[in-house]
Amino acid sequence: MSTPEENARRRGWPPGVRPVTLESFDLLGVDKDNRLYWDGKPVEVRRRFDLTFWQKLGAVIIVIGALGATVGLDAGFDLSCKLRWWSCSLRAEGEVPEISPQSTPPATSPQSTPQKLLPGTKFQQQ
């Protein structure tokens, strides 16, 4: 009959590591903050998050590409608004004057004012 240590080695465990038996469960403990202890010593699990050189380089390239795409999209949107490829908010560009609440538009008929057609706007029939 083999010992638990021999069975553990057969499973590929490193030397000196043995399985937990029912008799050794009295070495396991928990404090009031639910921290785990083994034989009176705290159990700590640490894993470092470490990247290789190539992983770090790839991450830097991706971040630079994402920033470049964001700046490029913003510049492209701004340019297409200025070229009037689609309608954009004119108030953001400062081309529409503020209308005070006291002033009222002149009373004119809908036919006397021609509609201004811009790319991206829908034609409204009256």
Predicted TM-score (pTM) above 0.85:
no
Q: Outline where 18-118 has alpha helix (H).
A: 53-82, 90-93
Task: Give me the sign of the Cα torsion angle 34, 36, 40, 41.
Answer: negative
Percent of the chain past pLDDT 90, that is, above it, reads: 15
The predicted structure's pLDDT at residue 106: 59
Angle at 19 between CA 14 and CA 22, to 5 degrees: 170
What would the pLDDT profile of 82-102 be if each residue is shown by its tens digit? 887 777 765 555 555 555 666
What would the pLDDT profile of 38-67 be if each residue is shown by its tens digit? 888 998 877 788 889 999 999 999 999 999
Element (H, E) at 4: helix 4-10
Are residues 39 and 33 in contact, defined by beta-carbon separation less than 8 angstroms? no
Could you tell me whether strands 41-42 and 28-30 are parallel, antiparallel, or unpaired per DSSP bridges? unpaired
Distance, CA of 86 to CA of 84 (rounded, Å): 5
The predicted structure's pLDDT at residue 101: 64
Average pLDDT, rounded, for the chain: 76
